[in-house]
């Protein structure tokens, strides 16, 4: 439990720090870069929430057998995908966010957080394997 909380805290700190720093940089230069700051911010918030919730679910699914991990892990990914899809549609259709800024920021944060999530998850799984053997 303690290790799982360590990895979760580390992930939250990394994702929020990256989001805050990148938002600050974009805010300083958004007029020069012709980026809609609200669209960038919206995409970042969607991805932070998606990644943090998903990582917490994946860490909880590590406790137990491999079948449980696959079921919970893949199931949560499908649900997260549809939630993000709905958020994207609402953002683009209802709030009229700038499509290019929003989609670019969405993919930027999504892949960056996915890399961090995968790295920390692999470290956690390797640590669990060392403890079991």
- Residue-wise pLDDT for 15-32, tens only, equals 999 999 999 999 999 888
Rounded to whole angstroms, the Cα distance separating 98 from 40 reads 9
Which has more pLDDT, 12 or 32? 12
Q: Are 39 and 102 in contact (CB under 8 A)?
A: yes
* Nearest residue to 97 (alpha-carbon basis) of 28, 42, 52: 42
Report field, pTM of the whole predicted structure over 0.85: yes
Rounded to whole angstroms, the Cα distance separating 91 from 6 reads 33
pLDDT at 36 over 60: yes
- pLDDT band at residue 1, thresholds of 50, 70 and 90? low
pLDDT tens-digit series, residues 78-120? 999 999 999 999 999 999 999 999 999 999 999 999 999 999 9
pLDDT attached to residue 4: 65
pLDDT attached to residue 69: 86
Rounded to whole angstroms, the Cα distance separating 88 from 92 reads 6
Per cent of the chain over pLDDT 90 is 73
- Mean pLDDT over each residue of the chain, to the nearest integer: 91
- pLDDT band at residue 2, thresholds of 50, 70 and 90? low
Which has more pLDDT, 100 or 129? 100
């Amino acid at each position: 439990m303690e290790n799982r909380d360590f990895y979760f805290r580390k992930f939250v700190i990394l994702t929020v720090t990256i989001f805050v720093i990148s938002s600050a940089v974009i805010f300083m230069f958004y007029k020069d870069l012709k980026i809609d700051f609200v669209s960038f911010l919206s995409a970042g918030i969607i991805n932070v929430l998606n990644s943090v919730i998903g990582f917490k679910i994946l860490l909880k699914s590590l406790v137990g057998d491999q079948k449980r991990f696959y079921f919970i892990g893949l199931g949560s990914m499908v649900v997260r995908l549809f939630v993000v899809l709905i958020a994207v549609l609402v953002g683009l259709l209802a709030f009229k966010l700038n499509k290019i800024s929003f989609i670019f920021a969405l993919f930027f944060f999504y892949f960056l957080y996915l890399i961090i999530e995968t790295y920390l998850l692999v470290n956690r799984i390797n640590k669990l394997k060392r403890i079991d053997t």
